[in-house]
Copies of this chain bind each other. A is one copy, B any other.
Amino acid sequence: MELARPSRKTNGVGVQVGDTQVCVVMVGLPARGKSLIAQKAQRYLKWLSIDARVFNVGNYRRKGAAQPTADFFDVNNAEGERVRRAAAEAAVNDMIKWFKHEHGIIAILDATNSTKSRRRWIKDRCDSEGIETLFVESKCDDEDLIMSNILEVKTTSPDYKGQDPEKAAQDFRNRIRNYEKIYETIDESEQDLTYLKIMDVGKRCIINAIQDYLQSRVVYYLMNLHIKRRSIWLSRHGESMYNVTGQIGGDADLSPRGEQYASKLPELVMQSFEGQEHPLTVWTSTLKRTIATARHLPKEWNQLQWKALDELDSGVCDNMTYAEIAEEYPEDFEARDQDKYNYRYRGGESYRDVVIRLEPIIMELERSENILIVTHQAILRCIYAYFMKEDQERSPWLNVPLHCLIKLTPRAYGTEKVVYKANIDAVSTWRGKGSKALHEDPTEETESLAK
């Protein structure tokens, strides 16, 4: 079975990349969530196997001025202005090198880029290199939001490392005042720019002159982000009869221990609320074992069955044990271990294929509030990889134990994880590279979702 040939014009995951290279230029005053947006966009793109890198101008500037005070950012401070300009130039130069020599697809230039002249300069530089520009402005005048951003994020910035948080916050507010003096929002005079202007964290958006599919993907993703505090609950189905017999795929019923887990799941979910009530929406796959696992959850919670949450399709190997696959399709068995992420079962799917069909699920998760997903091992690995920024080559080897509930809470930088164990025995369905094992214990080094 030939693997899908990713064509020159695609990254092989159904995203029309073409020859396009895009510089996403962040725009906005400090503490408007620019770095957060940049990080999330990069994570999303990497998950889709689109090569993306963040170029943070602050990091370049810190080489010349490690811990400057607010005065440094005063428009009248000529030395400060010189250093900041040099940092921007260094970042843009490195970015252009990256596009040229490493064939990057999307660079995200993380800086305030707060004046029209600075934006024009970036556009001209990119134009002359044949790189598209997409300006993304985050504009927010909600004082509470800005303050919470200052306190949560900025006082932990390298600029203030080791300093008194109160003093740091005050200095940072002064820094913002200095930027405000010269800040120019993107307006009618810049209609030749391609831009997305996000106001008050997505309440209102302006989208101007989107040129192609790749830009539209990024714009749609960024429009869907929200910052309400919420969590995502993940669970595999309870142990199935196939788990017990070591068979893959199929549509088996739960084992008696799997039934025990289903009965205990409502209690486990309540425990995870830790005192706070949440109405959850429950998503399952269309397969019996996930629907059965979710069936004792409160009746008043909405349940949705998604075909897109069905287990990775193992094609001709459906219903077989790994030992049978190794026997009947030795070359395939070998090929899968060599490149588990890209290996596509004959007549079935690869992890890469699963990521494509999960993309709308991820988009909906970004828009949604509290969701509980009851699904399958490979699907959980892919969803987990998105939230935890797991390397796509490593994610197919993660250990996802049966009979535990994982609660993920996205935060400003990274995702918080808490694991709730049902303490109901189950077989291990993990399989190490080269192994044909029915019920193998993960090695010490194996990363586990439940730790």
Contacts and interface: CB of A to CB of B under 8 A. Distances in A.
B205 A207 contact: yes
Interface string A273-285: 0000000010000
Contacts of A347: 249-251, 318
Given A204-B209, A346-B251, A14 B302 contact: no
Nearest to A206: B206
A128 interface: no
Interface stretch (A73-81, A303-311, A414-422): A303-311
Contacts of A10: 304-305
A53 to B, nearest CB: 25
Interface string A335-378: 00000000010110100010011011000100110000000000
Given A4-B286, A16-B364, A204-B208, A302 B9 contact: yes
Contact-size category for A: 35 or more
Nearest to A357: B357
Given A7-B302, A251-B347, A347-B250, A308 B14 contact: yes
B307 A353 contact: yes
A101 interface: no
Interface stretch (A59-67, A172-180, A216-224): A216-224
Contacts of A210: 223
A307 B7 contact: no
Interface in A232-255: 249-251
A8 interface: yes
A389 to B, nearest CB: 24
A353 to B, nearest CB: 5
Interface in A1-42: 4-5, 7-10, 14, 16, 18
A10 B318 CA distance: 29
A339 to B, nearest CB: 16
Given A7-B302, A220-B220, 16 more contacts: A8-B302, A9-B281, A9-B302, A9-B303, A14-B307, A16-B364, A191-B204, A204-B208, A204-B209, A205-B207, A206-B206, A207-B207, A210-B223, A216-B223, A251-B347, A307-B353
Interface of A: 4-5, 7-10, 14, 16, 18, 191, 203-210, 213, 216, 220, 223-224, 249-251, 281, 286, 302-308, 313, 318, 344, 346-347, 349, 353, 356-357, 359-360, 364, 367-368
17 contacts: A5-B305, A7-B303, A9-B281, A14-B304, A16-B304, A16-B364, A204-B206, A204-B207, A205-B207, A207-B223, A213-B367, A250-B347, A251-B347, A286-B344, A307-B356, A359-B360, A360-B360
